[in-house]
Structure 1
């Protein structure tokens, strides 16, 4: 975790007045996000519920430094990172932000363990430390016996659990997940989501998890709704 960007008592993630628009060909400008305000406390797990096309992926990409807002500011660990250059943004993504997507995006030519080792090596870890961390995470999700298997030899639920491990490999401050169980059948989805929540809780990191599944959303600390480009808390 990048201690250089932390401040005692700081929010893990804070977005203020985030706006984002796109021009789609000859069509009029599309305002995807309109002054979004959002904050995650350290250790908090928050659900982001939104209909398709509402802009949740855009919001997650901005929160994870994969995109830039037209207006507004982004803070991670108390530091305003809105205006960072691409090199600094890349370094911060490696150390402080973990990503999980609907599809696992594992590298098919590498084993489960190697998929978890590689991002650690890119972040400066030694081979020994990276392999030990991979083994620890695979054990936590019940996949120690699958460490040497490539993704094609694993089930969908197993692949996604490996993707969870990869996202947490560098001990990030914030986890961003976009429909992390959306590609699984309902039974597997519930089981795999339970694994994810156990990982998040045991790691003590903050998480913003986008989902259509209201039952899964109810298992998190708070539920936020993204509609018409703005975020609002779920009614009590």
Structure 2
């Protein structure tokens, strides 16, 4: 069975050939197996967000290869990349980025409708996901009416709305206090395990990283494998 995500010799250079050239990634390699949850551990500014954006087809590498489910997607056009992101990849950011004018449930329903789901199916899946993370009772509330932890749980559900194969998360609890972070991260891990997702989760929190299957460290633009 193919790895869900493969990054091979990924390089990323900004302002290439110019006086302000910055080399962020210098040959990073990583592979995520089906059902595997991997922590990407790195301090701020090390390039983990850049690596996640390349993995999630939000950015392109200067060199190297990206494969999703064994398919080389490095040089796909914008339309195909957008379709793959919508159907196969879920992304969670440090800040929830929920649409403020819509309710918690609607924030999860809308991505499904955009992906072609029927309204009834989308509503049922939103209700199921909210229930799994313990905020079903807040389904009709808008983001401003939710606590930080509740907002991030809704963001988790939105990322899983279209039943992706791969979850990418960039410091998903980094803006929460330690107690809330621990509780919300536990909800995320429960949801990931229940759905059999593969996940690459960037964090600088070593306690959270220890709860995942494997840790990799981003250092000097390259990935160092650590168990």
TM-score, structure 2 as length reference: 0.98
Q: Using the alignment, how far apart are the partners of 1:231 and 1:151 within structure 2?
A: 36
TM-score (norm 1): 0.94
Name 2:128's counterpart in structure 1. Answer: 136
Q: How far apart are 1:28 and its partner, in Å? A: 3.5
Aligned residue for 2:106, secondary structure, equals helix
**Match of 2:173?**
181
Is 1:147 the counterpart of 2:139? The answer is: yes
Equivalent pairs, count = 227
Of the candidates 103, 108, 114, which is equivalent to residue 106 of structure 2? 114
CA shift for structure 1 position 23: 1.9
Cα deviation, 1:202-228, whole Å, max 9, x if unaligned, reads: 010100000010000000000000010
Which residue of 53, 68, 71 corresponds with 2:60? 68
Residue matched to 2:150: 158
2:186 aligned residue:
194
2:219 corresponds to which of 217, 227, 235? 227
* Gap runs ≥5 in structure 1: 1-8
SS of the residue 1:72 aligns to: strand
Which digits, 9 at most, give the CA deviation of each residue in 1:113-168, with x for residues without a partner? Answer: 00000000111101010000000001101111100000011100000000000000
Structure 2, unaligned runs of 5 or more: none
Q: Distance in 2 between matches of 1:23 and 1:53?
A: 17
* Alignment correspondent of 1:82: 74
Deviation, 1:187, is: 0.1
| Deviation (angstroms), 1:33 | 0.3
Aligned with 1:225: secondary structure? strand
